[in-house]
């Protein structure tokens, strides 16, 4: 798949799977306020996913709507990056994932808001405001944990190191896309490096750079996530509430 459909589908899948993972924190966050915050961020991601998948269905022209794309595809048909499908781990791992994802999505949606495609530009204009909040929220927690106790610092550094290898896939070149992610890496590095420095954390060095999500090659974690996410829709196809 190439062109606007593939690009829009990939962004929609990123947001959908990120929403599902973040929603797993509901009733499990370390404090009540954070429980609500993560649920709201998950809803933001779900809102972006709905807009993107609806438009992807129109671009495909095969009669699939947002629900069909979300609930009736198998894992090999999803095009999300590997980062979002990784298990939540502890709270530090989740904040590390959210920091990296939002530092990627914010410049992406900002650039998208200026692209020639009016629908994608409108989606980017809305989503970038939400991504700015997600980035601020994650950065505050990364700094809080990094500068906290020796144990919170250790966990936060370990969380960053665990998810850092998956960054490279986010910025793989996509010249035919409305926005080439490769052009956004400098903005990402500047933002993330500043947050980690303030948090007294070290930017990891890793030669291992797993990829394949954009081609439908995923970790085993996505299959389990989809099984839970899709079970009701598949058990009652065509049901109306």
pLDDT the model gives residue 2 = 60
pLDDT the model gives residue 72 = 97
pLDDT the model gives residue 140 = 98
The CATH number of the domain where 72 resides is what? 1.20.1260.10
Lookup: tokens for 190: 């500047």
Complete DSSP assignment for 40-76: HHHHHHHHHHHHHHHHHHHHHTSS--HHHHHHS--GG
Q: Is residue 150 part of a domain?
A: yes
Q: Is residue 23 part of a domain?
A: yes
Total domains in the chain come to: 1
Q: Is residue 29 part of a domain?
A: yes
Ranges under pLDDT 70 in the chain? 1-2
pLDDT the model gives residue 163 = 98
pLDDT the model gives residue 85 = 98
Lookup: tokens for 217: 């090659």
pLDDT the model gives residue 3 = 84
Q: Is residue 10 part of a domain?
A: yes
Give the residue numbers spanning the domain of 83. Answer: 3-202+211-235
pLDDT the model gives residue 146 = 98
Q: Is residue 64 part of a domain?
A: yes
pLDDT the model gives residue 1 = 55
pLDDT the model gives residue 239 = 83
82 in Cβ contact with 219 (< 8 Å): yes
pLDDT the model gives residue 197 = 98
Q: State the distance between the two ends of the chain, measured CA to CA, in whole angstroms.
A: 34
Q: Is residue 241 part of a domain?
A: no
pLDDT tens digit sequence for 30-81: 999 999 999 999 999 999 999 999 999 999 999 999 999 999 999 999 999 9
Q: Is residue 19 part of a domain?
A: yes
The rounded radius of gyration (Å) of the Cα atoms in the chain is 17
Q: Is residue 156 part of a domain?
A: yes
């Amino acid at each position: 798949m190439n062109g606007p459909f593939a690009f829009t589908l990939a962004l929609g899948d990123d947001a959908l799977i990120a929403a599902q993972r973040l929603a797993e924190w509901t009733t499990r966050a370390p404090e009540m306020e954070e429980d609500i915050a993560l649920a709201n961020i998950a809803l933001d991601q779900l809102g972006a996913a709905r807009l993107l998948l609806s438009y992807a269905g129109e671009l495909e022209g095969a009669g699939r709507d947002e629900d069909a794309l979300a609930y009736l595809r198998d894992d090999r048909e999803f095009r999300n990056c590997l980062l979002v499908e990784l298990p939540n781990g502890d709270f530090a791992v989740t904040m590390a994932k959210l920091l990296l994802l939002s530092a990627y999505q914010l410049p992406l949606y900002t650039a998208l808001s200026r692209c020639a495609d009016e629908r994608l530009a409108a989606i980017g204009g809305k989503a970038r405001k939400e991504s700015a909040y997600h980035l601020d929220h994650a950065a505050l927690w990364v700094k809080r944990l990094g500068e906290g106790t020796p144990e919170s610092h250790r966990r936060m550094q370990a969380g960053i190191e665990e998810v850092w290898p998956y960054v490279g896939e986010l910025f793989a070149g996509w010249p035919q896309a409305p926005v080439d992610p490769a052009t956004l890496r400098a903005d990402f590095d500047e933002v993330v490096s500043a947050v980690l420095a303030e948090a007294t954390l070290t930017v990891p060095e890793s030669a291992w750079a797993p990829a394949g999500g954009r081609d439908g090659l995923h970790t085993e974690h996505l299959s389990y996530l989809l099984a839970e996410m899709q079970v009701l829709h598949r058990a009652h196809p065509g049901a109306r509430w």
